[in-house]
Amino acid sequence: MPALVSIPDLASQCIHCGMCLPTCPTYDTTKRERNSPRGRISLIKAVAVGDLPITTSFAEEMSYCLGCLACQTACPAGVDYASLFEHARAEIETSGLNSSPKRSLYRYLTLDLLFTRPRLLRAFGKTLRFYQTSGAETLVRKLRLTRLLPADLRRLEPSAPRISQKFSNELIAPLESPSNPVIKKIALLTGCIQDLAYAQINRDTADVLLANGCEVHTPPVQPCCGSIHSHNGETELARDNARRLIDLFPPENFDAIISNAGGCGSHLRHYGKLLADDPSYSRRAALWDEKLKDIHEFLTEIKIIPPTQAPFPEPVTVTYHDSCHLAHGQKITRQPRALIALIPGITLVPLTESDWCCGSAGVYSITQPEQSALLLERKVKHIQATHATILLTANPGCHLQIQNALPRLNILHPVSLLAQAYRQSLPLITAN
Amino acid sequence: MLEKLTTLLGKENLLTEKEDLIPYSFDGTATFHQLPLAVAFPRTTEQIAACVKLAHETNTPVITRGSGTGLSGGSVPSEGAIVLCLVHMSDIISVDPANLTLRAQSGAITADIDAAAATHGLFYPPDPGSMKISTIGGNVAENSGGLRGLKYGVTRDYVMALTVVLPNGNIATFGNACVKDVAGYSMKDLFIGSEGTLGIITEVLLKLLPRPAARRTMLATFPSMESAAQTVSAIIAARIIPCTLEFLDQMTIRCVEDYTKIGLPTDCAALLLMETDGHPAAVADEAEKMAAIALQNGAIEVTTASTDAEALRLATARRSAFSALARVRPTTILEDVTVPRSHLAEMVSFIAKTAADLNLTIGTFGHMGDGNLHPTFLTDERDQAEMSKVHQALDLIVTKTLSLGGTITGEHGIGLAKKQWLPQQLDASSLDLMRQLKQTLDPHNLLNPGKIFP
């Protein structure tokens, strides 16, 4: 991405204080300076000024980084680590150092195909859904036919998400109006993994918005936000997706554009920077950034009508896990907790290390399985220590990662809990 | 020799590739860089001793490092040096509540030490700003201070015993768990603050205190630095020793308000964060008296926190000072000249005047209770012209500090950063004695060469 500020300048903002080190999960694991943000910044700078070529070791280091941005929260000097990180990954892709036929194939299938063609992604989802619900999956697992898969796919197979019965376009009409007078005109982003595996969360988001006087516009087919492309060194594809979304949701038409996925929201908020040097989009991208809101952020701003009924017949204990890109990437930690506090019949127990990465980190659980597993284990221990019956989290990646380790734990998006509470007293909200 | 080190420590405990070494070429300072020959991770005192003996064979300099957050260049490698990084020796070995002591390996993180003490209702008072990441070994080697210095003293006051690997590779232990011990010279005091030039500290025995039962936090704003300083003198004259007395000057207040937007008055000349701790009755009494004294001495407003959450909010103004300043320009140079308390206000005005005269941006904050100032230069190391003015300003500030009977460094150490001014502060025979000592203990100048002495 053409840096508006040069990479050496961005890297020079680092004052070497080391306050990022204790917050970095990889430094915590190895205690090696190169596996810390401070160390990585020094390597990125060395490469940028020509002191170090882009080597395999450098490429490995940038893959080992989670991109969790806990360092940005800790950093006193306001270093824009996210930009340095994405720049480094893009440079590494351009160098071709990591390339292999298999890797190129996987990247092509996902980044170039599935995550640029929403209809294709849904078709793939439907196929997977059929496989999961028709009995085929049970048979394949019983007969251990997964042995036929290549090793890495075989390892991943058990953690494939359960595909939703209906996708967002089957749950939400393109235009839904509230029964009370319209206060705000909202666009709702339905996402990719959210749409395929947790479409009900999108329905719940729409319900909560409707209950608070919002007119909700939800185009039935939406392209990927481009976050996965940007985090994996495919800047041009990220830009393409950004342009398509801006065209689909003209920011001038809406009071707010809502994201309910922490990982996506963090990227969606910076379209202005992504398209800064595109004269036909730069102005609208800057306007997009102003309109883009995380659902918790937006609901807190408009001061929602607090629900009057508890969501469940019995009181429940809940705990909240901060998605890295919501907490560190977007600095949204107060609002989800404030919203949860509005719900009757709920006791919120604090989660130790609530903003320590769970290991999902985009595709990290696929590319760095050991480190991902270490982090998941740490997170699971803390969750179990709360004895909460429900875990609340606002990012599909975290949701999936933790559900895989704790299949019997009830995991909900805070907005789903809110919707459930509203449903007890507002019959006009449609349930599933 | 690298081969022998690999055999001694294991392949995974020796780094030699450039990508691994670059991150160890600097510490917490902005401008010093030097690639080491290799970085080694010993796991025991015996391994460290063996490393030092190996280094002798080839006259290889040895640089000791903890988390590398020092502020004077103390752990920056010298050319061709081996860095011994002690982060894997981080055990808190034992806490002895009966004797109020704690034993830890030198790579243990200071905040973890205080947390371990807390589980027994005890506490380890020295609280340097870096304590969440700095190691106790580093703190001892620099004799680090912290915010609680006035009431509780510094790191030196809490070291009861040290295990040290000497420059010849011998292992020595100094001190013990006794409150009183005068057997032989007090050697541990030699190594405390020796910045890795006389020996490698591998294990420490620390003194702990009972954890105070209560604490009260207050924030006061003043129309002049002099009235803030007067308040501090008056508080001490009233026989109250607060555990925290932190000040911010006007430049710093403006940067903090810019960054945090918590509603600080940007036209006030000084801000004082005051905390008293101890028995709840004493704390309530002292807090009331301190607030009254502040108002009597010209405070514009005094806010006392009534809950822990509010205390944290008030303290944010002081705790975010460094962050707020660090964001303003690319290069942040943090100094730590210290003067006797009575001269602090004069020193702060001198710094402000120097900044104005040379057209530099300097924010000053620090520990008003013990006269330890942190003039913070907000600059850009790539601007040669400005950097030479920064050096000019530093020279002027050092000269003024020394003329007031102060010191060029209250807690950060000499390292590389302040070598040039050491002869200005120490008389010739003192400096000479120190050189002799170094020469006697480390005749081949293997441990952290190039540090402290110009």
CATH number of the domain bearing residue B233 = 3.30.70.3450
Last residue of a domain, one of B321, B339, B359: B321
Residues 6+ apart with CB under 8 A from B183: none
B332 → chain A, closest CA residue:
A15
Let me know whether B317 and B338 are in one domain.
no
Q: If residue A251 lies in a helix (H) or strand (E), which one and from where to where?
A: none
Higher pLDDT: B332 or B26? It is B26
Q: What average pLDDT does this structure show over B269-277?
A: 93
Q: What is the pLDDT of residue B361?
A: 95
Let me know whether B109 and B42 are in one domain.
no
Q: Is B197 on the interface with A (CB under 8 A)?
A: no
Let me know whether B312 and B268 are in one domain.
yes
Q: How far apart are the first and last CA of chain A?
A: 42
Residue B443 within a domain: no
Two structure tokens written together for B412: 């950060």
Let me know whether B75 and B128 are in one domain.
no
Give the Cα separation of A112 and A252 in Å (integer). 29
Two structure tokens written together for A22: 């204790």
Give the Cα separation of A425 and A309 in Å (integer). 6
Domains, chain A = 7-95 (1.10.1060.10)
Last residue of a domain, one of B293, B321, B349: B321
Where does the pLDDT of residue A413 fall: very low under 50, low under 70, confident under 90, or very high at 90 and above? very high
Most confident segment among A75-84, A215-224, A419-428:
A215-224
Let me know whether B156 and B203 are in one domain.
yes
Q: Is B133 on the interface with A (CB under 8 A)?
A: yes
Give the Cα separation of B311 and A95 in Å (integer). 52
Residue B6 within a domain: yes
Q: Is residue A3 predicted with pLDDT exceeding 50?
A: no
Residues of chain A found within 8 Å of residue B17, distances taken between Cβ atoms: 57
Two structure tokens written together for B331: 């290069």
B73 → chain A, closest CA residue:
A16
- Contacts with B, A 25-64, CB within 8 Å: 31-34, 36, 38-39, 42-43, 46, 51-52, 55, 57-58, 61
pLDDT tens digits, one per residue of B55-100:
999 999 999 999 999 999 999 999 999 999 999 999 999 999 999 9
Let me know whether B312 and B380 are in one domain.
no
Give the Cα separation of B30 and B26 in Å (integer). 8
Amino acid in the structure at residue B181: D
Let me know whether B99 and B200 are in one domain.
yes
Nearest CB neighbour to A18, from listed B18, B130, B326: B130
Indicate the pairing of strand B92-96 with strand B82-85: unpaired
Last residue of a domain, one of B173, B194, B210: B210
**Percent of chain B residues topping a pLDDT of 90:** 80
Q: Is A73 on the interface with B (CB under 8 A)?
A: no
Residue B438 within a domain: no
Where does the pLDDT of residue A1 fall: very low under 50, low under 70, confident under 90, or very high at 90 and above? very low
Q: Is B57 on the interface with A (CB under 8 A)?
A: no
Domain span including residue B118: 92-210
Q: What is the pLDDT of residue A4?
A: 52
Q: Are A260 and A202 in contact (CB under 8 A)?
A: yes
Task: Decide: residue B178, CB within 10 A, 0-12 exposed, 13-18 middle, 19+ buried.
Answer: exposed
3-state secondary structure B257-272: HHHHCCCCCCCCCEEE
pLDDT tens digits, one per residue of B211-235:
999 999 999 999 998 899 889 989 9
Q: What is the pLDDT of residue A426?
A: 74
Give the Cα separation of B318 and B324 in Å (integer). 10
Record: contact A33-B24, CB cut-off 8 A: yes
Q: Are B205 and B176 in contact (CB under 8 A)?
A: yes
CA distance B28 to chain A (A): 5
Question: What pTM, to 2 d.p., does this model score?
Answer: 0.93
Residue B310 within a domain: yes
Give the Cα separation of A349 and A316 in Å (integer). 10
Q: Are A413 and A392 in contact (CB under 8 A)?
A: yes
Let me know whether B164 and B255 are in one domain.
no
- H helix intervals, B119-244: 136-142, 149-152, 188-191, 225-237
The ipTM of this complex is: 0.93
What CATH number is associated with residue B7? Answer: 3.30.43.10
Which of these ranges, A180-184, B184-188, B230-234, has the smallest mean pLDDT? Answer: A180-184
Given the structure tokens 């395999």, which residue do they identify?
A56
Query: Taking all residues of chain B, what is their mean pLDDT, rounded to a whole number?
Result: 94
Query: Taking all residues of chain A, what is their mean pLDDT, rounded to a whole number?
Result: 93
What CATH number is associated with residue B408? Answer: 3.30.70.2740
Residue B448 within a domain: no
Give the Cα separation of B162 and B104 in Å (integer). 10
- Contacts with A, B 142-171, CB within 8 Å: none
Q: Is residue B198 predicted with pLDDT exceeding 80?
A: yes
What CATH number is associated with residue B170? Answer: 3.30.465.10
Give the Cα separation of B118 and B104 in Å (integer). 15
pLDDT tens digits, one per residue of A293-346:
999 999 999 999 999 999 999 999 999 999 999 999 999 999 999 999 999 999
Let me know whether B40 and B109 are in one domain.
no
Let me know whether B269 and B353 are in one domain.
no
Record: contact A38-B23, CB cut-off 8 A: yes
Residues of chain A found within 8 Å of residue B109, distances taken between Cβ atoms: 22
Q: Is B36 on the interface with A (CB under 8 A)?
A: no
Record: contact B19-A9, CB cut-off 8 A: no
Q: What is the pLDDT of residue A343?
A: 97
Indicate the pairing of strand A346-348 with strand A390-393: unpaired
Let me know whether B309 and B334 are in one domain.
no
pLDDT tens digits, one per residue of A242-266:
999 999 999 999 999 999 999 999 9
Q: How far is CA A289 from the centre of its chain?
A: 17
Give the Cα separation of B396 and B398 in Å (integer). 5
pLDDT tens digits, one per residue of B406-453:
999 999 999 999 999 999 999 999 999 999 999 999 999 999 999 999
Interface-testing mutation among B22, B31, B69, B132, with chain A (most A C-beta atoms within 10 A): B22
Residue B420 within a domain: yes
Residue B98 within a domain: yes
For chains A and B, count residue pairs whose Cβ atoms are closer than 8 Å: 82
pLDDT tens digits, one per residue of B8-17:
999 999 999 9
Q: Is residue A355 predicted with pLDDT exceeding 80?
A: yes
Given the structure tokens 């600097």, which residue do they identify?
B26
Amino acid in the structure at residue B201: I
Read out DSSP for A35-85? GSHHHHHHHHHHHHTTSS---HHHHHHHHH-----HHHHH-TT---HHHHH
Q: Are B247 and B365 in contact (CB under 8 A)?
A: yes
Q: How far apart are the first and last CA of chain B?
A: 29
Helix axes B344-358, B225-237, angle to 10 degrees: 160
Q: What is the pLDDT of residue A431?
A: 46
Let me know whether B182 and B256 are in one domain.
no
| 3-state secondary structure at position B47 | helix
Phi, psi of B7 (to 5 degrees): -65, -40
Q: Is residue A160 predicted with pLDDT exceeding 90?
A: no
Q: Is residue B377 predicted with pLDDT exceeding 80?
A: yes
Q: What average pLDDT does this structure show over B23-48?
A: 96
Q: Is residue A428 predicted with pLDDT exceeding 60?
A: no
Domain total for chain B? 4
Residue B52 within a domain: yes
Task: Decide: residue B308, CB within 10 A, 0-12 exposed, 13-18 middle, 19+ buried.
Answer: exposed
Q: What average pLDDT does this structure show over B371-394?
A: 93
Q: What is the pLDDT of residue A432?
A: 40
Q: Are B389 and B377 in contact (CB under 8 A)?
A: no
Amino acid in the structure at residue B98: A
Give the Cα separation of A323 and A29 in Å (integer). 20
- H helix intervals, B58-181: 110-118, 136-142, 149-152
Two structure tokens written together for A15: 């004052």
Give the Cα separation of B85 and B43 in Å (integer). 10
